[in-house]
Amino acid sequence: MPDKPVVVVGRKLPAAVEARLKRDYRPKFNPEDRVYGTDKLLALCEGADALMPCHTEHLPAGVIARLPDSVKIIANYSVGVDHVDLAAAKGRGIAVTNTPDVLSDATAEIAMLCMLGAARRAGEGERLVRAGEWKSWSPAFMVGTQITGKRFGVIGMGRVGQVTARRARGFDMEIHYTKRNRLDPAQEAGAIYHETVEDLLPHCDILSLHCPATPQTVNLLNAERLALLPPGAILVNTARGAIVDEAALMAALRSGQLAAAGLDVYKGEPHIDPAFFEIENVFLLPHIGSATAQTRDAMGYRALDNLDAFFAGRAPRDRVA
């Protein structure tokens, strides 16, 4: 119907999500799942009412300024919004939403996978087996770090951080965290609060990052802060690559200051610094924190719920700008 809003869809979405889009809107799909360049994306937005991007579509202030006046809402298919200049969108009167809550379990699972993969040298072991180079067993073979009973630190004790902490308790780990505002006792569930990152780090045998990427958190984990971790600590990052100074991280891994790291996110992804490939004690995943069928559907439904509310004249549940 001509009165249905036109929605530009940044990437190919799950079939059920695209079916709902086709039913309720006039979508401009991306069937080839290409990463659109700026000019192509802006051309598609001509005459559109809404844009549904993923984190692969970058919308800095300069791009926001060039969006057609017809675009009234950016309904992100992501919980992170660091790819969108929120102030620029707000300045143009464009609403921005995200998809919180629905990714928490899936991302916490990947954080556990990164922790275990790094601690027990799973990447090294898998490469050894595939190469046919596993020749024998000995007491000194592939010795890693046992995580049961260790101290588990969380930077950013929001939705994902709290779920990840609950999973870590299943390994009898002692939970430490830092957050701008301390949680109430029920949410803490016995976790130990530290007012600053610097206060937290010496208490972390495993450090898991769950804060958003903002101008204040870019390179939050630099060489000076990494040095505050106990020798042999393990870093897990399933949040955003921008939070970590990758050169400092690689230096800490090479020197043995860190025993290992498990990463699902990187600066400039999918273009990863090739120096990571030469470091054995880092477990690498391709940003699959939300990659379950259930979660990817739920993300799409949440984004569509926000669109539905906006075009019905109601406040979107997940408005961030």
Query: Of residues 240, 246, 296, 302, which has the active-site annotation?
Result: 240
Q: Roughly what angle, to the nearest 10 degrees, separates helices 159-169 and 104-119?
A: 50
Task: Given the residues 20, 287, 296, 302, select the one marked as catalytic.
Answer: 287
C-alpha span between 153 and 174 (Å, rounded): 8
22-37 per-residue burial string, b: 16 or more CB within 10 A, e: under 16:
eebbbbbebeeeeebe
Q: Are 272 and 141 in contact (CB under 8 A)?
A: no
Rg (CA), the chain: 21
240 in active site: yes
Q: Which amino acid is at 144?
A: G
Spatial CA neighbour of 313 closest among 73, 25, 20, 102: 73
Taking alpha carbons only, the member of 206, 181, 208 closest to residue 194 is 181
Q: Which one of the listed residues 58, 169, 269, 317 is annotated catalytic? A: 269
Distance CA 202, CA 223 (A): 14
- What secondary structure does DSSP assign to 139-181, as a single string? TTTT-----TT-EEEEE--SHHHHHHHHHHHTTTPEEEEE-SS
Pick from 294, 290, 109: nearest CA to 208: 109
Look up 210 and say whether it is catalytic.
Answer: no
Q: Kindly list the catalytic residues.
A: 240, 269, 287
